[in-house]
Amino acid sequence: MLFNLLYPLHVHAGLHWLNVLRYTSTRTLLGMMTALSIALLLGPWFIRRLQAMEVGEKVREDGPRSHARKAGTPTMGGSLTLLAIVTGTVLWCDLKNPFIWVALFITVGYGAIGFLDDFLKLTRTKQGLPGRVKLGLSFVIALIGLSVLFLVAYPEAVDPGQGDIRFRLALPLVDFYKHPITVGWSFASSLVLYLGLGMFVIAGSSHAVNLTDGLDGLAIGPVIVAAGAFLVLCYGAGAVIGDQHFNVAQYLKIPFIPGSGELAIFCAAIVGAGIGFLWYNAHPAEVFMGDVGALSLGGALGTLAVITKNEFTLLILGGLFVAEAVSVMLQVGWFKYTRRRYGEGRRIFLMTPLHHHFEKKGMAETKVVVRFWIVSFALALLALGTLKVR
């Protein structure tokens, strides 16, 4: 908004210094600082409001004993994080860019699902939204966003010389982008595969982050790291640098998606808002993000992966979230199988998601969190390293 209002003034009003706003790097920094300021400055007031409304966390009865003290801690703090992300993005991005609107739609839509789930947990039933309803709504929002992306955003942004990039996938251990999935497929089949994979990536990422959100600062740390890595990936996919129009994507041999560089501002806003939230979410947490924060942040990461053609890179970059989700699926599957086979359910882990397993083994909560942060940072470096082998 401010970009669209202020940038034209460098010509029409003679304010030449405003020309600096044309650089994505400048607006990326401004977006990050805006989101960080909102999260930090409004945090104390927001926490007091949650306390006044008695919006407190309900702790699992079968969880680690140390979690008993967390009962009553204000939750739904992700609402402020979401506000900071949207504000930082809208103020400094180019509002004519369709990628921005798709990313914001899915992020806010998933936040709305999380808000409803949190609200039901606090006011009606501890279980919140039924799992099938929550997953179904996630797929619907992802489908709407992907449809807009396919029909509106890509046709305006893709260089015709690259072919129909909408159907291209980043496959591991091959020359990533030479062979679109349309080879040997009809257009309709390719479209179904594209939409199906996209919905799986976005919804899966969202719910994986939600499962990870169980300890003070555990989820937001890896989200900050992943958003920082996606900042690099988005900028590389869409940036043209300097008067000689140096094409970063062509140099890195990744798809050039004009306009996707603007998503670097969105990524920066996530980083800024996440750091601001972490100030209050660090152990001992003064506020929890709740589903409204976890679902929206996970959906944002999945959307960034789909737009920039980094679906499989997300498996590496978000490996920590994948491990948390897989631990739950393995635990549930094995328990059901052994109960049917032996008449008594058995467990692989002491407790899931995975971070609770380490707590049950006696590891301090802060040590689990910091070590998971280290793992997420290492995975982010590995994911960025794939740029050199494509």
Would you list the DSSP string of 108-174? HHHHHHHHHHHHHHHHT-TT-S-HHHHHHHHHHHHHHHHHHIIIIIHHHHS-GGG--GGG----TTS
Alpha carbon 289 to chain centroid, angstroms: 14
Residue 283: name the closest of 359, 215, 209, 376 by CA. 215
What's the token pair of residue 281?
């979410």
Question: Can you give the pLDDT at residue 381?
Answer: 94
Tell me the average pLDDT across 181-186: 50
Cα(243)–Cα(144) distance, integer angstroms: 38
CA angle, 255 as apex, 319 and 244 as ends, to 5°? 125
Q: Establish if 317 belongs to a structural domain.
A: yes
Cα(28)–Cα(36) distance, integer angstroms: 12
Q: Establish if 46 belongs to a structural domain.
A: yes
Residues sharing a CB contact under 8 Å with residue 107, sequence separation 6 or more, in sequence order: 82, 85, 86, 296, 297, 299, 300, 303
Element containing residue 247 per DSSP (H, E): strand 246-247
Question: Can you give the pLDDT at residue 13?
Answer: 52
Question: Can you give the pLDDT at residue 176?
Answer: 41
> Which of 76-85, 92-101, 168-177, 296-305 is predicted least confidently?
168-177
Contact 238, 263 (CB under 8 A): yes
Q: Establish if 352 belongs to a structural domain.
A: yes
The reported pTM is: 0.90
Domain that holds residue 221: 26-388
Q: Establish if 285 belongs to a structural domain.
A: yes
Q: Establish if 235 belongs to a structural domain.
A: yes
Residue 352: name the closest of 62, 15, 56 by CA. 62
Bigger pLDDT: 253 vs 7: 253
Cα(268)–Cα(231) distance, integer angstroms: 7
* Residue keyed to tokens 């929002």: 141
What's the token pair of residue 262?
């603007």
- Prior bond of 284 cis (ω within 30°): yes
Q: Is residue 139 scored above 70 in pLDDT?
A: yes
Tell me the average pLDDT across 325-347: 92
Helical residues (DSSP H) of the chain, grouped into ranges: 2-6, 9-12, 24-52, 78-92, 98-123, 131-148, 154-157, 187-212, 220-238, 248-252, 263-281, 290-307, 313-317, 319-342, 354-360, 365-385
Cα(368)–Cα(49) distance, integer angstroms: 30
Q: Establish if 236 belongs to a structural domain.
A: yes
Question: Can you give the pLDDT at residue 74?
Answer: 87
Tell me the average pLDDT across 73-98: 93
Q: Establish if 15 belongs to a structural domain.
A: no
pLDDT > 70: what percent of the chain? 78
Residue pLDDT, tens place only, 193-246: 788 889 999 999 999 999 999 899 999 999 999 999 999 999 888 876 654 456
Residue 62's Cβ-count burial label (10 Å; 0-12, 13-18, 19+) is exposed
* Residue keyed to tokens 């978000």: 318
**HEC string of 68-95?**
HHHCCCECCCHHHHHHHHHHHHHHHCCC
> Which of 128-137, 174-183, 254-263 is predicted least confidently?
174-183
Contact 164, 182 (CB under 8 A): yes
How many domains is the chain partitioned into structurally? 1
CA angle, 268 as apex, 264 and 273 as ends, to 5°? 150
Q: Establish if 177 belongs to a structural domain.
A: yes
Cα(204)–Cα(285) distance, integer angstroms: 26
